[in-house]
Structures are given as C-alpha cells and as structure tokens.
Amino acid sequence: QLQLQESGPGLVKPSETLSLTCTVSGDSISSSPYYWAWIRLPPGKGLDWIGSISSSGGTYYSPSLKTRVTISVDTSTNHFSLSLSSVTAADTAVYYCARSKYSGSYLDFWGQGTLVTVSS
C-alpha cells in the first residue's frame, strides 16, 4: 500500500525559506512512471497546486509561485522535497504531498498534510 508522509519545520520566519520533505513508501520513485506533487490548503481558503516533478526530474510549477519554488527528487532515499523562498504570512497553510499519473492529472494518493505557520 502506497504511503506518503510530509515532514519539516512547523514554524518558519518571514523572509526565510520553507523546506519540506515527502517520504514515499510502497513504491519506488526511481522506477515509477508517476509524478509527485505538492499542494497546500491555506486557512479559510481552497486547495492551491504548488507544482510537480517526474522521477527523471522534470518539473512543473504554479505560475503564481514559480519564482520562489523548487521541487526536487532524491531517488536514493525515495523522497521528494519542496523549497519555498521568501515566505510571508500568506504562505501559512497545510502542505500536502501527493502522487499523480502525470502532471495535470488526478492525485490518487495523498499524505496527511503538515501545518506550516509563517510567523516571527
């Protein structure tokens, strides 16, 4: 059974960089034809797609975040990561990692999410 688990700091200071990791178990990222995505849910707002990456490293980013976002994959440890720079309070959200069949497709497995608060 595929499982995804987000991890990282729950509190980040304004202007700093938010870094999260998603550990995948039950599937090998390196041999998988799937894409691996990050999505967030700000308090009181709707889901917001951040971006996705293929096992070969091809990336797709949200136009509104692409200047601040980097998604990378580490096939040796079977995890992928999110880096979001120059954060503000507007980046406070529950961050989810998920798997998709291809970029733009449905997300069939999700992690439980991790709350990241941006505050000094």
Partner 1 sequence: QSVLTQPPSVSGAPGLRVTISCTGSSSNIGAGYDVYWYQLLPGTAPKLLIYGNDYRPSGVPDRFSGSKSGTSGSLDITGLQPEDEADYYCQSYDSSLSATVFGGGTKLTVL
CA-based nearest residue to 65, from 93, 36, 87: 87
In the complex, minimum distance from the CB of residue 47 to partner 1, in angstroms, rounded to a whole number:
4
Taking CB under 8 A as the criterion, the residue among 1, 10, 46, 76 binding partner 1 is 46
d(CA 46, CA 29): 28
Site for partner 1 in 12-41 (CB under 8 A): 37, 41
Amino acid in position 33? P
Longest dimension (CA), the chain: 41
Residue from 13, 45, 58, 77 in contact with partner 1 (CB under 8 A):
45
Q: Which of residues 57-116 bind partner 1 (CB under 8 A)?
A: 60, 62-63, 96, 98, 103-113
- Nearer to partner 1 by Cβ, of 3 and 15: the residue is 3
- Rounded distance between C-alpha atoms, residue 57 and residue 108, angstroms: 20
Number of residues counted as binding partner 1 (CB under 8 A): 25
